[in-house]
Amino acid sequence: MNNEQELKELIESLKNTPPKIIGGYKKQGWAVKVLDKTSNESIESEGGSITAKAVLEANDGSYYPAFLTLDMNNNGQISGAYLLAEEEEQFNLIPYEIAKEFLEKPESDLIPFKYRTLEKIEGDEQQQNWPDFS
Residue-wise DSSP of 73-111 = GGTTEEEEEEEEEEETTEEEEEEHHHHGGG-SS-HHHHP
Confidence of residue 2 (pLDDT cuts 50, 70, 90): low
**Model pTM?**
0.88
87, pLDDT greater than 60: yes
- What pLDDT, on the 0 to 100 scale, is given for residue 31? 96
In the chain, what percentage of residues exceed pLDDT 90?
Answer: 48
Max Cα distance, the chain (Å): 42
Q: DSSP 3-state assignment of 14?
A: helix
Over residues 99-121, the pLDDT tens digits come to: 888 888 888 888 889 999 999 99
